Amino acid sequence: MELFNLGIKSIFVENMIFAYFLGMCSFLAVSKKVSTAIGLGAAVIFVLTITVPLDWIIQEYVLKEGALAWMGPQFAETNLEFLSFILFIAVIASMVQLVEMIIEKISPALYGSLGIFLPLIAVNCAILGSSLFMVQRDYTFAEATVFGFSSGIGWLLAIVALAAIREKLKYSNVPDGLKGLGLTMLITGLMGLAFKSFIGLAV
C-alpha cells in the first residue's frame, strides 16, 4: 500500500516537470506532436525503470559509506560517495546505449519510431535527477523501482498533455515575441497550477 501511495505521489503530486523542472529541455523541444511525445515518454519510462534500481544497487553496495564492507574488513570505512555523479551518468549513458541496441534487435519498428530520441534520453535531467533524489531520500530497493517507474509515467503524462495543447495552438494568433517558447512556458505554468490541486490527495 505504501508503495502504491509513493507511486501516486511521484506521478501527480511531485511530478518531475511541474514540481522539479526536470527534463525540461526535451519536454519543450519534443512536444510539438502527440505521437512523438508518446514515443519519447515511453522511452523515458523504460530507461528510468531500469536505471534507478541499478543506481540504487551501485549506491548501496559500492558508493555508500561502509558499503564496501562485503569485500573485506579493510574496506569497512571507505566512502566513495564523491564518485556518484560519474558512476550514475556512466550507468545511464551505457544503459541508453544498451536499450538502443536491444530495441534495434528485437523490434525494428519501435526502433524506427524511437530511434532519434534514445540518445537524447542520456542527457535528460529527469533520469539523473531521479537517481540523485533516490539517494537523497533513502529509498529501499522496492521504493526505488516504484519511484523510477512512476516518475516516468508522470513525465509521459505531462509531455503528452502539453503536446496536445500545442497541436491546437498552431492555429491561434499569438504575438510575435510570445510565439513558441514564451507561450509554452506560460502554458506549462498554468498546467502546473492545475497539477497543484493534487497536493490535497491524502497519500
Partner 1 sequence: MSTETLEQTQEVAVKKKSEDFLSKRRKKILSDPLNDDNPITVQVLGICSALAVTVKMEPTLIMAIAVVFVIVFSNLIISLIRNLVPNRVRIIVQLAVIATLVTLVSEVLKAYNYEMFKVLGAFIGLIITNCIIMGRLEAFAMGNKPYDSILDGLGSGIGYAWIILAVAFFRELLGSGSVFGFEVWNSIGLSGMPNNGLMVDSIGAFVVLGLIIWVQRSLSGYVEN
Q: How far is the CB of 182 from partner 1 (least distance, A)?
A: 4
Q: How far is the CB of 133 from partner 1 (least distance, A)?
A: 6
Asked whether the CA dihedral 66, 70, 75, 80 is positive or negative, the reply is negative
User: Of the listed pieces 34-42, 52-60, 100-108, 178-186, which binds partner 1 according to CB under 8 A?
Assistant: 178-186
40, with CB counted inside 10 A (0-12, 13-18, 19+), is buried
62 binds partner 1 (CB under 8 A): no
25 binds partner 1 (CB under 8 A): yes
Q: Nearest-CA neighbor of 37 among 164, 124, 184?
A: 164
User: Of the listed pieces 2-10, 58-66, 82-90, 153-161, which binds partner 1 according to CB under 8 A?
Assistant: 82-90
22 binds partner 1 (CB under 8 A): yes
Cα pseudo-dihedral 158, 194, 16, 181, rounded to 10: 60
User: Of the listed pieces 53-61, 67-75, 81-89, 102-110, which binds partner 1 according to CB under 8 A?
Assistant: 81-89
Asked whether the CA dihedral 60, 65, 68, 73 is positive or negative, the reply is negative
Q: What single string gives the DSSP state of each residue in 118-139?
A: HHHHTT-HHHHHHHHHHHHTT-
183 binds partner 1 (CB under 8 A): yes
Site for partner 1 in 91-150 (CB under 8 A): 93, 119, 122-125, 127-129, 132-133, 136
Give every CB contact of residue 82 below 8 A, 6+ residues apart in sequence: none
23 binds partner 1 (CB under 8 A): yes
User: Of the listed pieces 21-29, 45-53, 60-68, 158-166, which binds partner 1 according to CB under 8 A?
Assistant: 21-29
Q: Which helix (H) or strand (E) element contains residue 99? A: helix 84-106
Q: Which residue ranges make up the site for partner 1 (CB under 8 A)?
A: 18-25, 28-29, 82-86, 88-90, 93, 119, 122-125, 127-129, 132-133, 136, 175-186, 188-189, 192-193, 196
